[in-house]
Amino acid sequence: MTDRALEGVRVIEFTDEIGSYCGRLLGDLGAEVIKVEPPGGGRERHVGPFITGFEGEPDASLAFWVHNTSKKSVVLDLDLPGAQETARKLALSADIVLEDYPVGYLSARGLGYEQLRSQKPSLVYTSVTGFGQTGPHAGWAYADIVGQAMGGLMTLAGQQSDPPNLIYGRQADVSASIHAAQGTMIALLHAEATGQGQLVDVSAQEAVSISQETAMQFWDFHKKNRTRTGELGALPIRLPGSGTLKTKDGYVLLLIIAPAGKDLPDLVAWMREEGKAGKLDEEPYASLLAKFNMAFLTQLMGNPAEAVTVLQHLGAMNQEIANFFASKTAKEAYEEGQNRQLLVGIVSTPKDLAENTQLRARDWYVTFPEAPAGPAVEFPGPPYRLSETPALIARPPRLGEHTEAVLAAL
């Protein structure tokens, strides 16, 4: 039998959208995670996309699946006193309680941190909410987009002329859950060493703050706000070997002018081999490209006269490079470019990821032979590989699938 890192750890979770990914990480690492769900299931079970042919069914929501693997499901109506008592017993049987209800909801039902810890001092109680347990906004309503906005991410994403962009994949929820997983692990280790439990309070707004990158220090040091710069990113203009370029069937991102990897002459060599270097082998482009890297650009910024002469040639160079990538598929451009140590990233579509050479070669995807809805299906694999105690992904539970068994054993 495979050893599991979190063998013997029991987690009772009262989560919906914000904290469920945290429970999933613990479950995949071997904890017994029992999700207590309201009758009918929470919001996450009712949000698509759904398995085709099972639209709207609570067992068929992929939004639920991706955050709820390796769990058991128990249905309890926490508005009923009897069910509250059962939930209390369940919670007290756990090492960890994980919850993401609005602040005060569970304590109104006898399931708050203070109430449970008085009976079980070693309990780790992790609360994952939009704004945390304290402070003037602790009672605010929350959804993922609110966390991304209030946490400083959206202001950095998008084209200046568009509204700020949301990042795909409920990243405020995910960030809160990942911080919660780290905090919960630290608290668990402490509880196991000393018998002392505690509250782990995670705010989604704070969880995404660190992803502001340098925006925080631009304000702190320079009193300037970083803003969204869309397609050009950090560059003032499109430079050869940079930016998002069209291919035959999709897009690639070039960052060849970044310090890592080979420089533009190696790109031109590749183009030349295929007879597609065009004007880039002619002057003045050839000598310009030979020295075109970050150091050259930095020097150029201090020399406006030279900059003007360089600037007038950028359009032609960009066009030759764009033509070259337009002649390839995104996958060809990515794999061949990277094999030449050129910083080319494929803009992967979900299909590209499902077929990704590296992920397939490493056998990353897992299979659920008996899916909660629909036929056997492949599913994304774990975030990490632990040599002694692998993260193993068991299929998500059907709504209430384990109610009887779990309550009978209580």
Partner 1 sequence: MSKRPLEGLRVADFSWFGAGPIAANTLCHFGAEVVRIESETKVDGIRMVHPFAMNPDGTFKSGYNVSGYFNNYNTGKLSMSLNLNTEKGQEIGYRIIEKSDFFLTNFTPRVVDKWNLRYDQITKVNPSIIAAYAPMQGLEGPHRDFLGFGAVLTPVTGISEMSGFPNRPPFGIGTNYPDYVINPGHTVTAMLAAHRYRLKTGKGQCVELPQLESVVNALGTAVAERLANGTNPTRTGNRHPAYSPHGAFRCADDPGSVNSPDRWVVVACRDDAEWMRVAGVLGHGDIAQDGRFNSLVARKDNEDELEGLVNSWTAGWKAEELCAALQAAGVPAGVVQNAQDMLDRDPHLKDREYYQYVEHAEAGREAHDSPAARLSETPGWVPGPAPLMGEHTMDVCERIIGLTMDEIADLLAEGVLV
| Residues β-bridged to residue 98 | 13, 126
Closest distance to partner 1 from the beta carbon of 405 (Å)? 26
> Does residue 259 interact with partner 1 by CB under 8 A?
yes
CB contact at 8 A, 203 and 142: no
Q: Which stretch binds partner 1 (CB under 8 A): 89-97, 166-174, 278-286, 315-323?
A: 166-174
Known catalytic residue at 173 = yes
> Does residue 162 interact with partner 1 by CB under 8 A?
yes
Determine which residue in the list 226, 328, 331, 395 makes contact with partner 1, applying CB under 8 A: 226
What tokens were used for 9?
A: 């750890």
Q: How many residues bind partner 1 (CB under 8 A)?
A: 158
Backbone angles phi, psi at 371, to 5 degrees: -75, 155
CA pair distance 260, 71, nearest whole angstrom: 42
Q: How many residues does the chain have?
A: 410
CA pair distance 33, 96, nearest whole angstrom: 9
The b-or-e profile of 155-165 (16+ CB within 10 A means b, else e) is bbebeeeeebb
Closest distance to partner 1 from the beta carbon of 275 (Å)? 26
Closest distance to partner 1 from the beta carbon of 234 (Å)? 9
> Does residue 239 interact with partner 1 by CB under 8 A?
no
Q: Which stretch binds partner 1 (CB under 8 A): 88-96, 134-142, 276-284, 309-317?
A: 134-142
Q: Which stretch binds partner 1 (CB under 8 A): 86-94, 156-164, 263-271, 280-288?
A: 156-164
Looking at residues 194 to 223 of the shown chain, list those that interact with partner 1 (rule: CB under 8 A): 196-203, 205-223
Site string for partner 1, 9-28 (x = CB under 8 A): ------------x---x---
Determine which residue in the list 29, 76, 90, 98 makes contact with partner 1, applying CB under 8 A: 29
Taking Cα atoms as reference points, which of 285, 289, 293 lies closest to residue 265? 289
Q: How many CB atoms lie within 10 A of CB 269?
A: 12
CB contact at 8 A, 291 and 321: no
Looking at residues 279 to 318 of the shown chain, list those that interact with partner 1 (rule: CB under 8 A): none
CB contact at 8 A, 225 and 162: no
User: Among residues 268 and 391, whose Cβ is nearest to partner 1?
Assistant: 391
CB contact at 8 A, 373 and 59: yes
> Does residue 104 interact with partner 1 by CB under 8 A?
no
Cα dihedral across residues 188, 177, 357, 347: positive or negative: negative
> Does residue 182 interact with partner 1 by CB under 8 A?
yes
3-state secondary structure of 251: strand
> Does residue 322 interact with partner 1 by CB under 8 A?
no
User: Among residues 309 and 367, whose Cβ is nearest to partner 1?
Assistant: 367
CA pair distance 307, 319, nearest whole angstrom: 19
Determine which residue in the list 80, 104, 119, 159 makes contact with partner 1, applying CB under 8 A: 159
Determine which residue in the list 1, 305, 383, 408 makes contact with partner 1, applying CB under 8 A: 383
Looking at residues 327 to 366 of the shown chain, list those that interact with partner 1 (rule: CB under 8 A): 334-335, 338, 341, 343, 345-354, 356-359, 361-362, 364-365
3-state secondary structure of 55: coil
CB contact at 8 A, 23 and 98: yes
Catalytic residue among 28, 59, 144, 173: 173
> Does residue 6 interact with partner 1 by CB under 8 A?
yes
CB contact at 8 A, 84 and 107: no
User: Among residues 268 and 346, whose Cβ is nearest to partner 1?
Assistant: 346
The residues annotated with a catalytic role in the active site are 173
